Amino acid sequence: MTDHDLKTFLDNKTLQFNNTNFITSDPISIPHQYTRKEDIEIAGFLAALLSWGQRKTIIAKSTALMSLMGNQPYLFLTQAAEKDYLPMAHFKHRTFTGDDCLGIMRGLSHMYLHNGGLEAVCTKGFEKEGAYGGVIALRKALLESEHLKRTEKHLANPKAGSAAKRVNMFFRWMIRNDHAGVDFGLWKGVNPAQLVIPLDLHVGKSARHLGLLHRTQNDWQAAIELTEKLRSFDHQDPVKYDFALFGHSLFDRTKFD
């Protein structure tokens, strides 16, 4: 299997899956409900944070969380009183409890009131250490506010080896802009070439099947290995192939010959 053949295959799959037809069944449909930049990034982050399990459930839970903020996440985080947060104590998605929800919401509120918001925090991290720095900066900023120790497990930590799939997916949504109508391209201060592939079970399965990834664990090192390989196909936008690898595993059961 030549690299030329692999690139052709991935480019074709990217064209197949990188389009608005797949938005309604994907968690990215949550931020697509908004037009205000801050609402999009907050809704996007929370939808990404909840993105494990069945996609139908993820979308339902994300929708419920948006409703608890009156479907105005930015206004809620910057203007809500403490009593307005109380209904979130009953929110739950798998192991993400009401206490976790309250901790994350307080962290986001503090970030927008004192640190310039998600874009400012993450962009500074990217400027220091690329996507790794972006993930670390986001985690650090969110944990500056009062939270339970247990909540920390819901925030990816590449220092501990995490592939940071959900955060890298969120970064893809905010940073990539190929005018296909899926990713938003809102954060202009980060080059898409700096992104790291959102590595999960589906992407890892496709990548190993195609011989793009050899490391067996789905960890940060594997995400970097795969991204470097994809960068050899498109050094300016390697993460566009997330569409191809995820879609090939989830929707296309045919084998690559």
71, two tokens:
């479907």
- At position 161, the amino acid (one-letter code) is G
Residues in the chain with pLDDT values less than 70: 250-257
- At position 153, the amino acid (one-letter code) is K
Tokens 């839970």: give the residue: 61
Quick check: is 72 in a domain?
yes
Quick check: is 256 in a domain?
no
The pLDDT of residue 252 is 57
| Total structural domains within the chain | 1
The pLDDT of residue 197 is 98
Q: 96 - beta bridge partners?
A: 93
Quick check: is 202 in a domain?
yes
Residue 210: domain span: 3-250
Angle subtended by helix axes 37-49 and 165-175, to nearest 10: 160
Quick check: is 257 in a domain?
no
Distance CA 153, CA 81 (A): 27
Quick check: is 118 in a domain?
yes
Quick check: is 57 in a domain?
yes
Under 8 Å between Cβ of 137 and 122: yes
At residue 93, what are phi and psi to the nearest 5 degrees? -140, 105
Quick check: is 255 in a domain?
no
At residue 206, what are phi and psi to the nearest 5 degrees? -65, -45
180, two tokens:
């296909």
Quick check: is 162 in a domain?
yes
**pTM for the full predicted model:** 0.95
